[in-house]
Amino acid sequence: MSKTKTELSKMTKKNLLLHIENMQLMIENDYLQTQKENKEMREVLSNIGDTTKADIRRAAGIMRYQVSDHNFASYDDKKKMIKIVDIFIDTVV
């Protein structure tokens, strides 16, 4: 971390502003990519029949159970993983 802090302190004001702008653009691109992927996923799911949707919901439920039943190294890891799975399930189902 101190290396990054040292590098930032050596930057000129113009370079620092450019660095901040690049970081903002990267964040915006990540957000747009996520939105695009979510839209694509919704389109794919809208084209899938009800039987397949039920199978996906069932598989998602099984996946969540398996993650919640898994013996993680720490409770925080387990909590984070369940949150990730829940976000995935909300997006897909």
Q: Where are the domains of the chain?
A: 1-47, 49-93
Render each residue's pLDDT in the chain as its tens digit; 93 residues: 566 777 767 778 888 888 889 999 999 999 999 999 988 888 877 777 666 777 888 888 888 889 888 888 888 888 888 888 888 888 876
For position 51, what pLDDT does the model report? 67
pLDDT value of position 21: 93
CA atoms within 13 A on the CB side of 32: 6
Instruction: State residue 3's pLDDT score.
Output: 66
